Amino acid sequence: MDIFINTFLSEFVFKRKDLLLDLGAPTAEYLTKRINKIQDLDRSVWAHVSDLMRRINPTESGYVNNNGVLETLVDQALAEKSEDLIELLKNLIPWRKGPWRINGIDIDAEWRSNIKYQELNTVLPYLKNSSILDIGGGNGYYSFRAVLDGAASAICLDPSEKFLYQFELFQKFACAPSVHFELAGLEDVASMGFEADVVLCMGILYHHRDPLGVLSSCSAGLKPGGLLVLESMTIDDDRSICLFPEDRYAMARNVYFLPSTTAMVSLCKRAGYQDVDVISDRPTTLDEQRTTEWMPFKSLKEFLDPDDIKKTVEGYPAPKRTIVVCKKRG
Ligand SMILES: C[S@@+](CC[C@H](N)C(=O)[O-])C[C@H]1O[C@@H](n2cnc3c(N)ncnc32)[C@H](O)[C@@H]1O
């Protein structure tokens, strides 16, 4: 790991114990790819962000869940001189997932991720003392929550550099050594050599062209008998069918297959999982996904037909969301 010593990242990415190397057996190919990606963060586009990150050095550490808000302990000296922190937080807009309170500053993200997390109630007992791999985990909200709920470790896997920085900023204050971020995607899971007790794959399925391939990648990150928590936008239909939007869905270009709940169950079964169970099935509300000060762009309200919010602007059924849990064969 000495190769990073001269990069700004050595100050905050590698000072924590590297869970991946501890818990997994990544291939040499993956480690090379990882080094290249991380070194790539030294680009000038991130120079200001990394400079601000370096200037923020809390002496207090720790975090709590305060009614769904992930909140760090307050470092009073930093709170009294918080210009750098505010500038950094603004540089990291848009904040898609949250809510957070970082050193007393509220970050009201586009998504109230605490609402989705609450839907995981029935799987919380499985998180205890477990290793978690949160594939496409965004800025790590669920990983930090899972460790507070007793998970032994959590790796948030996401290819977004901005989410890496959001994660690392919270982590600077939280100092949670068993929560880790991997700058990687679903396609890297097999070469990470990490077999988790629980894989979270939420909000990912419909963004990919090959839904069965997504389920295989999840399986590659699970130990035999491990639990997959699969969450997706779904359509309301009793048949085992998928909606394949002709072009955009709710203004998004990268939405491919939206399964019905029945089709989601069928997908899990045909991908070889067992004990498939639907634990949540509900519409997305305007209260859960919305424009905020920290995500000032268009959000769900603008994606729906103003005359009939049961439809998207393209005339498709408005999004609902389903969570399915299932087991990898032992
Ligand atoms: C709709 S968000 C879901 C975030 C979070 N899992 C949740 O449920 O709130 C999709 C996430 O997938 C990430 N992503 C994009 N490409 C990916 C890939 N190839 N593999 C895994 N995640 C990816 C994005 O950066 C983003 O954080």
136 C-alpha vs ligand 1 centroid, how far in Å? 4
The CB of 319 under 6 Å from ligand 1? The reply is no
Q: Is the CB of 221 under 6 A from ligand 1?
A: no
Give the lowest-confidence range in 4-18, 59-73, 208-222, 270-284: 4-18
Task: Give the residue whose CA is nearest to atom 19 of ligand 1.
Answer: 185
pLDDT at 11: 54
Q: Ligand 1 centre and the CA of 190: distance in Å?
A: 17
Q: What is the pTM (predicted TM-score) of this model?
A: 0.95
C-beta 202 within 6 A of ligand 1: yes
| Model pLDDT for residues 118-145, shown as the tens digit of each residue | 999 999 999 999 999 999 999 999 999 9
pLDDT band at 3 (very low <50, low <70, confident <90, very high): very low
**Across 319-323, average pLDDT:** 96
| Ligand 1 neighbourhood includes 203 CB (under 6 angstroms) | yes
Query: How would you classify the pairing of strands 222-234 and 196-202?
Result: parallel
Report the pLDDT averaged over residues 88-115. Answer: 98
| 188 close to ligand 1 (CB < 6 Angstrom) | no
What is the arithmetic mean of pLDDT over 219-243?
A: 97
Tell me: the pLDDT tens digits for 134-174?
999 999 999 999 999 999 999 999 999 999 999 999 999 99
Tell whether ligand 1 has an atom less than 6 A from the beta carbon of residue 189. no
Domain residue spans of the chain: 203-213+220-330
Rg (alpha carbons) of the chain, rounded to whole number: 20
Residue 227, strand partner residues? 198, 327
> Is residue 97 lining ligand 1, measured as CB closer than 6 Å?
yes
Q: Quote the pLDDT of residue 36.
A: 83
* pLDDT exceeds 90 at position 46: no
How would you classify residue 260: left for phi > 0, otherwise alpha for psi between -120 and 50, otherwise beta? beta
Maximum average pLDDT range among 10-19, 38-47, 100-109: 100-109
Please give the mean pLDDT across all residues of the chain: 92
Q: Which residues are within 8 A (CB) of 199 and not within 5 positions of it... i.e. 6 or more apart?
A: 132, 133, 134, 135, 218, 221, 222, 226, 227, 228, 229
pLDDT number for residue 69: 98
At 4, give phi and psi (nearest 5°).
-90, -5
pLDDT of 6 reads 40
For position 170, what pLDDT does the model report? 96
Q: Mutate which of 202, 206, 207, 324 to test ligand 1's pocket (most atoms within 8 Å of Cβ)?
A: 207
Residue 41 has a pLDDT of 80
Cα(59) to ligand 1 centroid in Å equals 32
pLDDT tens-digit readout, 304-316? 999 999 999 999 9
Is residue 38 over pLDDT 90?
A: no
Kindly indicate the confidence band of residue 18, based on its pLDDT and cuts at 50, 70 and 90. Answer: low
Provide, rounded to the nearest whole percent, the portion of the chain with pLDDT above 70.
94
Region 109-113: mean pLDDT is 98
pLDDT tens-digit readout, 188-221: 999 999 999 999 999 999 999 999 999 999 999 9
* E strands, the chain, in order: 63-66, 69-72, 97-98, 100-102, 105-107, 111-112, 131-135, 153-157, 179-182, 196-202, 222-234, 242-243, 258-259, 274-283, 304-305, 308-312, 320-327
